[in-house]
Amino acid sequence: MTQTLTYAVGEGRPPYSDIPQAELIAHINRLRREKNAVILAHNYQVPEVQDIADFTGDSLGLALEARRTDADIIAFCGVHFMAESAKILNPKKRVFLPNLGAGCSLADSITPESLDDWKERYPGHTVVTYINSTAEVKAESDICCTSANAVSVVRSLPDARVLFTPDRNLGNWVARQVPEKQVVVYDGVCPTHDVLRSASLERTWRENPEAVIIAHPECREDVVALAHEVCSTTGMLDAVARHPHARTFIIATEHGMLHQLRRRFPDRQFIPADGCIGCRLHCPYMKMTGLQDLYFSLAEERYEIVLDRDVIAGARRALERMMAVPRDR
């Protein structure tokens, strides 16, 4: 039976419907060959988008793939700041975000103006900016980081005083790993991770006492304290491999990650930390992009990322400094 994807208006996708999935996939494959396009998808994307991507991964992994690609077009299935990072690292390539509504609440929590205010309040601090930020904020920063390399980035700095922005949970976790640094943390947050409480995780653990808990460092401190492993989404794949005798894992991050884990480890069981897929650990922005968005993005070449040259130069400097630092697990 032919599967058909039907998306309702208001779900963040264009009002196109009843296009058979097999037809969409065939057209996407044809277009990427004809236009020499590469498709990148974050681990939180819907399963069908992850499955059709040339590369899946976390922010840093995809940033590196974007830099290595010889494609003329980059279709970035993620959120806006990720597509911006791909453009920054590939200024001569055309980069498209398939769904213009795919933003990020964490990135929106800081602006160049609010960063300037913090820099005035804390003079002499090295500004470390999480990659979940706009290009303009990156351009005002000394160095970027991701959840995969944040500890190494801060540890590598010659200065002891650090202003970490914008995620407070990640920043506080980093500060605990590098007590030799004086880390001031900005008050931004990822709502998807911050909503999870230790009580919910403990309930899930009681129901699965043999499980290994893996948490993203954007989670709150009480959640991270319960975890056996704390790492980025790509680091979660490595973490599962480090526990060859464990059969069950509780995953404290956006539930789209479970698809990638189940693909890599079909013999293991993966349970969302809140005990219910999509109930709490759900990022609406990451779920906005569907196959139809990707198809029309390639067919009609929309929505292209355009950035000011000075912004690209400043942000590229911060990203390249980040990529020169060895990656944590």
> Which position has the token pair 């650090």?
162
Q: Helix crossing, 59-68 with 309-323: angle to 10°?
A: 110
Smallest Cα–Cα separation from 248: which of 234, 262, 238? 262
Q: CA 277, CA 260: separation in Å to the nearest integer? A: 14
d(CA 278, CA 261): 16
What percent of the chain lies above the pLDDT cut of 70? 93
In this prediction, residue 228 carries a pLDDT of 98
pLDDT tens, residue by residue, 7-62: 333 333 444 556 789 999 999 999 999 999 999 999 999 999 999 999 999 887 88
3-state DSSP assignment of residue 162: strand
pLDDT tens sequence across 274-300: 887 656 789 999 999 999 999 999 999
- The pTM of this model reads 0.90
**Taking Cα atoms as reference points, which of 141, 146, 145 lies closest to residue 126?**
141
> Encoding tokens for residue 237?
């794949």
Least confident range from 52-66, 100-114, 235-249: namely 52-66
Residue with tokens 């893996």: 214
Domains of the chain with CATH codes: 4-102+285-306 (3.40.50.10800), 106-189+310-323 (3.40.50.10800), 196-272 (3.40.50.10800)
Contact 88/135 with Cβ under 8 angstroms? yes
Whole-angstrom distance, CA of residue 43 vs CA of residue 264: 12
